[in-house]
């Protein structure tokens, strides 16, 4: 499979190159040149397959030529060794829980596959790759866990010492091995600035630096798998029964996974895009006018506080338009087709809290703030489109409620059960090193650790 850039100023390239460079040289985002279709017969064959087998059936269409099917199956088995529960809620409504991975957020699905793909691509390389990440919490832990123990790759995580919770910190600092963590005496923005500067620093050109950034195509493709999985588990695949998905969205990577699944043949009748108060995309769908929100609005579903989604350029491209790397709409996509396929909705914090309360009271379901935005979005859609009540619907839960104990405790008066992945984490032995916000000591540390390793 070849991958083209949304800016279309460079030649299409293979998976290896797209993965290792992340952003295309023309600053566009990579997308696959085609979406191999799944027939209703193929979907039916997947009904009784386990998650890793379904992942193989989907992902092999994109990795062909770069990774053998035998090896890909091993990687899928290794990456997806946890449960993917689908909970029935009421009527034809369901919740897809993507929160059982090692860091209890849906980001595990993509990070774990991308890490293994990169490990494969680099297996024969002499020089190791150093992945630099700045984190305010969740991304750093998903990336650190995903790459932990992968040969040829070292991970350096910078986190702001006072801005991450103990639980979040321990998810990164108790790994050891190829993961080094640094507690920066500053804010998240300082960490990010240091990482950015390192990428541009000629003094570090002897180190092979890379990122595990959310715009990487390797973090997108694996997110199409769980939509296929939910569909074949719930629907009459022989009749290609339609389905509605609702996706709580920030940078729109998760939602793009559903768009890819749709292109491959999953009959998604409507895709509900549910955002918090950062409503730039629902507004765009309504008015056809795109305005970033700067600075982004602070909401309790904090992983979705995004005022300009990094994956929007991909959506625009797939609907015939062009958005450049600065967020400028250079060519309009087909608004008519976008509105046909997508339903945008913005949910306030008050509605989010109310949804957590109601879902528990009425259905005995425990949601956390991100999943509650998705569920509220689905409810809104069904209210406006009553005919859709007869269609199977699935709302995505992107994090485990135990990651938000204070919010759940104050709304429901209970402590959500802690999943095995988070259990006992407070007691685990941690190690991290202090770092000031000055760039020079950071650069010197990178040089001392990673330049001398060259053989």
Angle 269-272-274 from CA coordinates, rounded to 5°: 175
Is 312 a binding residue for ligand PLP by CB under 6 A? The answer is: no
| Site map (CB under 6 A) of ligand PLP, residues 111-140, x = contact | ---------------------------x--
Nearer to ligand PLP, 116 or 314 (CB): 314
Q: Cβ distance 344 to 282 under 8 Å?
A: yes
Query: Helices 107-122 and 138-147, interaxial angle, to 10°?
Result: 40
Nearer to ligand PLP, 184 or 399 (CB): 399
- Residues 6 or more apart in contact with residue 193 via CB below 8 angstroms: none
Q: Which of residues 178-237 bind ligand PLP (CB under 6 A)?
A: none
Alpha-carbon distance of 191 to 135, in angstroms, equals 8
Q: Which of 195, 221, 304, 359 binds ligand PLP (CB under 6 A)?
A: 304
Is 251 a binding residue for ligand PLP by CB under 6 A? The answer is: yes
User: Least Å distance between CB 238 and ligand PLP?
Assistant: 32
Which span sits near ligand PLP by CB under 6 A: 161-169, 232-240, 246-254, 316-324? 246-254
Nearer to ligand PLP, 46 or 113 (CB): 113
Cβ count near 427 (within 10 Å): 8
Query: Helices 405-412 and 349-363, interaxial angle, to 10°?
Result: 60
Structure-token match 């507690």, residue found: 183
Is 398 a binding residue for ligand PLP by CB under 6 A? The answer is: yes
Is 300 a binding residue for ligand PLP by CB under 6 A? The answer is: no
Alpha-carbon distance of 147 to 164, in angstroms, equals 21
Is 395 a binding residue for ligand PLP by CB under 6 A? The answer is: no
Nearer to ligand PLP, 190 or 397 (CB): 397
Nearer to ligand PLP, 53 or 283 (CB): 283
Structure-token match 């029964």, residue found: 241
Q: Which of 5, 249, 305, 346 binds ligand PLP (CB under 6 A)?
A: 249
Beta bridge partners of 210: 131
Helices (H), 200-322: 225-234, 253-263, 280-287, 312-318
Residues that bind ligand PLP (CB under 6 A): 105, 107, 138, 248-255, 303-304, 370, 398-399
């Amino acid at each position: 499979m070849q991958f083209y850039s949304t800016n279309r100023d460079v030649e299409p390239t293979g998976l290896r190159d797209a993965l290792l460079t992340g952003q295309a040289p023309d600053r566009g985002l990579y997308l696959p040149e085609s979406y191999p279709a799944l027939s209703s017969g193929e979907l039916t064959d997947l009904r009784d397959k386990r998650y890793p087998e379904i992942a193989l059936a989907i992902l092999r269409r994109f990795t062909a030529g770069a990774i053998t099917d035998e090896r890909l199956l091993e990687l899928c088995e290794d990456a997806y060794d946890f449960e993917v529960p689908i909970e029935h809620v009421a009527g034809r409504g369901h919740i897809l829980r993507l929160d059982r991975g090692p860091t209890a957020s849906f980001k595990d699905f993509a990070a774990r596959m991308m890490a293994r793909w990169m490990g494969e691509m680099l297996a024969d390389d002499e020089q190791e790759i150093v992945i630099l990440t700045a984190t305010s919490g969740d991304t750093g832990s998903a990336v650190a866990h995903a790459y932990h123990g992968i040969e040829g790759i070292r991970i350096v995580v910078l986190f702001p010492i006072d801005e991450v919770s103990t639980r979040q910190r321990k998810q990164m600092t108790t790994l050891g091995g190829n993961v080094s963590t640094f507690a920066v005496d500053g804010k998240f923005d300082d960490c990010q600035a240091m990482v950015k500067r390192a990428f541009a620093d000629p003094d570090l050109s002897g180190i092979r630096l890379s990122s595990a950034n959310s715009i990487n195509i390797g973090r997108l493709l694996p997110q199409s798998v769980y939509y296929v999985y939910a569909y074949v588990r719930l629907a009459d695949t022989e009749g290609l029964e339609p389905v509605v998905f609702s996706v709580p969205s920030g940078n729109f990577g998760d939602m793009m996974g559903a768009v890819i699944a749709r292109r491959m043949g999953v009959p998604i009748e409507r895709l509900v895009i549910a955002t918090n108060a950062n409503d730039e995309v629902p507004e765009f769908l309504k008015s056809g006018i795109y305005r970033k929100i700067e600075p982004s609005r602070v909401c309790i579903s904090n992983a979705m506080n995004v005022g300009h989604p990094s994956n929007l350029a991909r959506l625009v491209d797939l609907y015939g338009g062009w958005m450049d790397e600065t967020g400028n709409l250079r060519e309009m996509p087909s608004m008519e087709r976008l509105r046909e396929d997508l339903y945008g909705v913005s949910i306030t914090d008050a509605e989010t809290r109310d949804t957590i309360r109601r879902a528990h009271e009425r259905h005995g379901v425990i949601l956390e703030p991100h999943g509650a935005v998705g569920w509220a979005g689905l409810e809104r859609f069904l209210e406006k489109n009553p005919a859709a009540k007869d269609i199977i619907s699935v709302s995505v839960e992107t994090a485990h409620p135990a990651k938000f104990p204070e919010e759940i405790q104050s709304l429901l008066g209970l402590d959500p059960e802690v999943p095995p992945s988070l259990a006992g984490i407070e007691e685990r032995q941690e190690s991290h090193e202090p770092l000031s916000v000055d760039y020079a000591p950071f650069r010197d540390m990178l040089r001392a650790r990673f330049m001398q390793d060259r053989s």
